[in-house]
Structure 1
Amino acid sequence: MKKSRIKNKYIKSMIISLSLTLSIGLYAYTQHDKFDMSERLIEASSIDDDEVNNQYKLLLEDLFDYRNKALLEKNEEILKGLYETDKKFGLWAYEHEVKKMQYLENWSNKQGVKFNDIKTKVKVKKIKQKEDDLYGIICTVSTEYKYSYENQKETINMFRIGTYHYLNVKIKDNQYVITKEWYTDPFADSLNLENLKSEDIRNYILAQESKKINLTEEQLKAINYAHQYCGAAEDEEYGLKFNPNYKDYNPDGGDCANFASQIMFESGRFKKNDTWNYCDNAGTKAWVNAQAFKNYIVYSGRGSLIAKGYYQDVYKSAYNLKPGDFVAYEKGGRITHVSTVTGVDSKGYPLVTCHNTDRLLVPWDLGWSDKEIKFHIIQVHY
């Protein structure tokens, strides 16, 4: 009983300390907290795994939200303070986040929007103490972005991106710094928008109005399925997981076409056949391969190509997309990704949901609008 009281008292003090850390945010990192973080973490290793994971969850969410704050404020110096930049892996991780910061700024200028808030939730999978003050962490990260258009400032739009991280964190001067980080970055394929005539595009987008879309029961089923099984981007109530009734093809090169096929099939509108099929924990090429999936949908008559080309060539045509339709992304002459449309924002801009990386209601070109990428705008015949 005495041991239990001591343990509960310790956990309570940890939660209070963490609550203070979360509430003071920027100050905690710039002024260097006075508590001995290394002592806390080593002591935490004696607590049950779930309790340790919860403490790390809060600390990592604080760390990522601080990084989000730097991205919103476009402050490279704040961002730099989160990384061990005198070592190559820490420097590379920092430099990538700077590129992402610049890309988000370029995209928001093109789109005519302002990001209002970025919030992160973390699910810790594994923690390993590698050295005295160095920890390896595997975690699932769900990041929610909120934005509004320049001429619709009161209307808030939301999308969510799920990523899977492996990072090393180190305690230095009583604060966390990232010494290494790897994750499937949704912006990795598109970090350059300077080639676009963004003023013309922005004016066109801002001139659009919200629209109401009438959906069939099958389209609604497709949307609900997509939102429930989009992995790390989905609502927490669904467990941040894929549908266990289907194989996850990420280890085999990617799960985007598999998920797009699932969405179509689970809508109840489309039946399997010899070419497009999933059974016995395996899918045909047209089911699981992005290029083959796109070709099958178009050539089978289950879908039609609305437009094809670079972003500036197709962005107007994309307004014809409705939930259940999809976008195919061509890079190097091959379709490398497909995303399903599951909604529109306050300007009628199509929003997609997909795997690789996990996305929920993300603007269809975000992370892809680069001069090297062509888009195939596909209408599916529901």
Structure 2
Amino acid sequence: MKLKFINIFLIALLTFKILPFSLCFAFEDEHNSNKIDYSSDETKNEFKNLLENLFAQRNAAIVSTDTELLKGFYDLDIKVSLWAYESEAKKTQYLINWSEKQSVKFKDIKSIVRIRKVAEKEPNLYGVICDVATEFNYYYLDNPEIINKFRLGTNHYLNLKKQDDRYIITKEWYTDPFADSLDMNNIKSDEIREYILNQKAPEFTPSERIKNAIDYAHKYCGVSEDEEFIFKYNNKYKDHNPDGGDCANFASQILFEGGGFKKNTSWNYAGKEGTKAWLNAQGFKNYMVSSGRASYIAKGSYQQIYKAAFNLRPGDFVAYEKKGRITHISTVTGFDSKGYPLVTCHNTNRLLVPYDLGWSNSNIKFHLVHVHY
């Protein structure tokens, strides 16, 4: 699956060291050379605090289900800032629509920022590269005592320009976990909500192979809850995101490293390179089914498969079809309190995320596949 990137224009008001900051996203030439690398912990912490404030403000709009709160970040008299507001509001509204479809409410959302690099590109213009892990805590409306959670990972490249006592962000470029949902048709079905609310998590005891597969997925997904492994992949394998996507590579790793599946001439990886069945989403799905290592549970639109999805179990996988081709693979690694399948994957890194979140456009078809361990 090819990564989806967006350029955002944003003017945001933040509080940092009790000073007001104006933030604005704009298109810039990415090829400016860095002049000075500011690698001190003090400098990294300064920008870390600034960006964590920004993400906290965005998260608050989702929790409150009020996209009007986003207007406080923007100068709506400036066209590019207005466009940015409309883009962010659309993504926020998607999460609100999804939560209504799911009959859940977000309790809180928290973002962890790791600054990888701060460099002065020219006087008072700084380039910042950072990783962000955002944890969503939610509960079902009929059972608010039970909190479910998932994590999403994004990678950001920003330019920040300092003007007097303010920073202006002149560019933000990041992986967008909802790129396949911005044109979604709003799903508001009483039947879907009622069906989900009437479910419960199944009794499931994983075999040793499946447990090892789950543990591997959670350890190397890139947004691990284990602080030692957060923002990390398994360095035995090449990160194929720059080559077009790492989702099938990671799904294959889960089966081989964790699940104990044997390599063969069709499905193989060696020397940081792999076969099509190992690395390609379409090739992976086709190989798993045609080899007999997996079999179909169901396929179709969300409305066609959402009931069958409750038959998924940890170790199975979901393949996502767009325009006639499989573009993404996610491995099922758990359930939430209603038994809703949760997936873990690479590309935009996910840990125990509801399988349909970010895949709600009407042109997306789901392939639900059971793996024979």
Q: Flag whether TM exceeds 0.5 (same fold).
A: yes
CA drift of 1:128 comes to 2.9
Match of 1:159 among 139, 150, 155: 150
What's the counterpart of residue 3 of structure 2?
none
Match of 2:296 among 277, 292, 305: 305
> How far apart, CA to CA, are the structure 2 residues paired with 1:158 and 1:36?
33
Is the contact made by 1:83 and 1:179 (CA closer than 8 Å) also made in structure 2?
A: no
What's the counterpart of residue 21 of structure 1?
none
Match of 1:246 among 234, 237, 240: 237
Q: Which ranges in structure 1 are unaligned for 5 or more consecutive residues?
A: 1-27, 39-44
User: Is the counterpart of residue 123 in structure 1 residue 114 in structure 2?
Assistant: yes
Match of 1:260 among 251, 256, 259: 251
Structure 1 residues 327 and 305 mapped into 2: Cα distance closer, same or farther (>3 Å)? Answer: same
> How far apart, CA to CA, are the structure 1 residues paired with 2:178 and 2:141?
23
Match of 1:350 among 341, 347, 350: 341
What's the counterpart of residue 360 of structure 2?
369
Alignment of 1:329-344 (within 5 A): 329-344=320-335
CA drift of 1:56 comes to 1.5
> How far apart, CA to CA, are the structure 2 residues paired with 1:34 and 1:238?
33
What's the counterpart of residue 320 of structure 1?
311
CA drift of 1:261 comes to 0.3
Structure 1 residues 64 and 285 mapped into 2: Cα distance closer, same or farther (>3 Å)? Answer: same
Aligned residue type for 1:71: I
Q: Which protein has the bigger strand share?
A: 2
User: Is the counterpart of residue 104 in structure 1 residue 92 in structure 2?
Assistant: no
Match of 2:47 among 44, 51, 56: 56
Is the contact made by 2:14 and 2:53 (CA closer than 8 Å) also made in structure 1?
A: no
> How far apart, CA to CA, are the structure 1 residues paired with 2:198 and 2:100?
15
Deviations, residues 216-275 of structure 1 (Å, cap 9, x unaligned): 000000000000101145532214111000111111100000000000011243100000
Structure 1 residues 86 and 322 mapped into 2: Cα distance closer, same or farther (>3 Å)? Answer: same
Alignment of 1:163-312 (within 5 A): 163-170=154-161, 174=165, 176=167, 178-232=169-223, 234-312=225-303
Highest RCO, 1 vs 2 (Cα 8 Å, sep ≥ 6): 2
Aligned residue type for 2:227: E
Aligned residue type for 2:97: N
Percent of aligned positions with the same letter in both sequences? 61
Structure 1 residues 172 and 367 mapped into 2: Cα distance closer, same or farther (>3 Å)? Answer: farther
CA drift of 1:62 comes to 1.7
Deviations, residues 152-182 of structure 1 (Å, cap 9, x unaligned): 1111000000100112334578555544322
Structure 1 residues 55 and 289 mapped into 2: Cα distance closer, same or farther (>3 Å)? Answer: same
CA drift of 1:190 comes to 1.1
CA radius of gyration, larger in: 1
Q: Which protein has the bigger helix share?
A: 1
TM-score, normalised via structure 2 length: 0.86
Count of aligned residue pairs for this structure pair:
349
Match of 1:113 among 104, 110, 113: 104
Aligned residue type for 2:278: W
Deviations, residues 42-84 of structure 1 (Å, cap 9, x unaligned): xxx9986222112221221122111211222244443233346
Alignment RMSD:
2.6
> How far apart, CA to CA, are the structure 1 residues paired with 2:134 and 2:168?
20
CA drift of 1:92 comes to 4.3
Structure 1 residues 209 and 35 mapped into 2: Cα distance closer, same or farther (>3 Å)? Answer: closer
